[in-house]
C-alpha cells in the first residue's frame, strides 16, 4: 500500500522476523527490516536509530502496548489509526450454525489475550449451543490458553430482532463484523460503523485475514465510528497553493480579506492585504 502511494523509503518492524516475513518484506519492496516489535519498535520508527531516520508515517496493527505507543508518538509522526487489540462481532440468527460461530470466535480469540470476540444473536438457543461448541473446540486447540483469556473479554448480546441487532453493532463499532443472517444482504447496507464487513455464512473473517481482498489494518476500540482502514490515502496529504498575478483584478478579494481582518480585530492582517493595492 505504501509503495503504491509513492512512499520513497519503507521499513518493516517485526520481532524475530522469520524467512516468510523477510520474503514478504522483499516482495513488498521494503528498504529494510527492524528486528523489533512492541512499543520500542514504535519509538525507533518515530525518533530514529542507527540507519533508520525518523519516519513520517507509522502504520500497522499491534497489541495494547503498540497501540498506546502509537498514540504517544502521534504528534511527532502521523499514525494510521488505533489498530489493536483485534475485535470480531458475529451477528447471527437461527440460521447460523453454532459450530461455525464458535470457530469464528475462536479464530479471533487466539490472536491475543486482549482480543475481543463478541456474538450478537436473535436466537436464544445460541447462548447454550455456542458455549458448548466453544468448550468442545477448545479441547484440542493448540492456542487454547490465549483463546480462553480472550473469550473473557467478549460476551453475548441477545437482541429482540434485526433492528436491535443493527443498533448494537453500530454502538460497538467493532473492527470486524460478520453477518450470518438469512437477511444478510438486506442488513449490510444498514450498518454504518465497522472496520470491515463480511456478508453471509461463507464469508469468514479469516478469509479476509489471508488475502480475499479487504484491507486488514482496521480501526479498533470504537474508532471505526470516525475512520476507516489503511489505504493509499493514509500516506497522502492534501496540499493547497495560491497564485494571484494581478492584484488589481483581485481587488474585491483584497477588500474582503481586509474587512474580515478588521472584523476579527487583526489590523495587521487587513494592512497586509491592502499593501497589494499600493
- Averaged pLDDT for residues 35-47: 97
Whether 213 shows a pLDDT value over 80: the answer reads no
The C-alpha cell that represents 122 in the structure block: 436473535
266 versus 208: which is more confidently predicted?
A: 266
264 is catalytic: no
β-partners of residue 57 are 78
- Averaged pLDDT for residues 135-161: 98
Instruction: Give the CATH class of 87-225.
Output: alpha beta
CA 181 to CA 178: how far, in whole Å?
9
Q: What is the pLDDT of residue 248?
A: 87
CA 4 to CA 268: how far, in whole Å?
44
Q: List pLDDT tens digits, range 42-96.
A: 999 999 999 999 999 999 999 999 999 999 999 999 999 989 899 999 999 999 9
Whether 199 shows a pLDDT value over 90: the answer reads yes
Q: What is the pLDDT of residue 214?
A: 66
Distance between alpha carbon 258 and the CA centroid of its chain, in Å?
44
CA 266 to CA 115: how far, in whole Å?
52
Q: Residues 133, 176, 205, 216: which is the catalytic one? A: 176
111 is catalytic: no
- Confidence band, pLDDT 50/70/90 cuts, at residue 210: confident
Q: Where are the domains of the chain?
A: 11-79, 87-225, 241-278
The C-alpha cell that represents 231 in the structure block: 489505504
- Percent of the chain whose predicted confidence (pLDDT) is above 90: 92
Q: Which of 36-40, 98-102, 211-215 has the lowest mean pLDDT?
A: 211-215
Q: Residues 175, 178, 205, 216: which is the catalytic one? A: 175
Q: What is the pLDDT of residue 177?
A: 98
Whether 106 shows a pLDDT value over 70: the answer reads yes
Per DSSP, the three-state class of 116 is strand
Backbone angles phi, psi at 224, to 5 degrees: -65, -10
Whether 257 shows a pLDDT value over 70: the answer reads yes
Q: What is the pLDDT of residue 212?
A: 79
- Percent of the chain whose predicted confidence (pLDDT) is above 70: 99
Compute the half-sphere exposure of residue 215: CA atoms within 13 Å on the CB side of its CA: 19
Q: Taking all residues of the chain, what is their mean pLDDT, rounded to a whole number?
A: 95
Whether 171 shows a pLDDT value over 70: the answer reads yes
Whether 38 shows a pLDDT value over 80: the answer reads yes
Whether 14 shows a pLDDT value over 90: the answer reads yes
Report the chain's terminal Cα–Cα distance, integer Å. Answer: 50
- Averaged pLDDT for residues 142-169: 98
pTM above 0.75, yes or no: yes
Per DSSP, the three-state class of 124 is coil
β-partners of residue 19 are none
Amino acid at each position: 500500500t505504501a509503495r503504491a502511494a509513492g512512499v520513497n523509503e519503507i521499513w518493516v518492524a517485526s520481532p524475530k522476523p522469520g524467512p516468510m516475513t523477510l520474503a514478504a518484506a522483499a516482495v513488498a519492496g521494503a528498504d529494510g527490516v527492524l528486528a523489533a516489535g512492541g512499543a520500542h519498535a514504535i519509538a525507533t520508527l518515530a525518533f530514529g536509530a542507527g540507519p533508520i531516520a525518523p519516519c513520517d508515517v507509522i502504520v500497522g496493527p499491534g497489541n495494547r502496548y503498540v497501540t498506546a505507543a502509537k498514540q504517544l508518538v502521534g504528534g511527532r509522526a502521523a499514525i494510521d489509526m488505533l489498530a489493536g487489540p483485534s475485535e470480531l462481532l458475529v451477528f447471527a440468527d437461527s440460521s447460523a450454525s453454532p459450530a461455525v460461530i464458535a470457530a469464528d470466535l475462536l479464530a479471533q480469540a487466539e490472536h491475543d489475550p486482549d482480543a475481543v470476540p463478541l456474538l450478537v444473536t436473535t436466537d436464544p438457543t445460541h447462548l447454550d449451543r455456542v458455549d458448548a461448541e466453544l468448550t468442545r473446540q477448545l479441547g484440542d486447540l493448540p492456542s487454547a490458553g490465549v483463546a480462553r483469556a480472550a473469550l473473557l473479554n467478549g460476551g453475548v448480546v441477545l437482541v429482540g430482532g434485526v433492528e436491535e441487532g443493527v443498533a448494537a453493532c453500530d454502538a460497538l463499532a467493532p473492527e470486524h463484523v460478520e453477518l450470518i443472517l438469512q437477511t444478510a444482504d438486506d442488513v449490510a447496507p444498514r450498518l454504518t460503523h465497522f472496520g470491515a464487513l463480511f456478508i453471509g455464512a461463507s464469508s469468514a473473517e479469516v478469509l479476509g485475514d489471508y488475502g480475499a481482498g479487504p484491507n486488514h489494518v482496521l480501526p479498533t476500540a470504537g474508532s471505526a465510528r470516525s475512520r476507516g482502514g489503511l489505504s493509499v490515502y493514509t500516506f497522502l496529504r492534501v496540499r493547497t497553493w495560491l497564485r494571484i498575478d494581478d492584484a488589481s483584478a483581485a481587488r474585491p478579494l483584497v477588500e474582503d480579506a481586509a474587512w474580515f481582518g478588521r472584523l476579527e480585530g487583526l489590523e495587521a492582517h487587513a494592512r497586509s492585504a491592502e499593501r497589494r493595492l499600493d
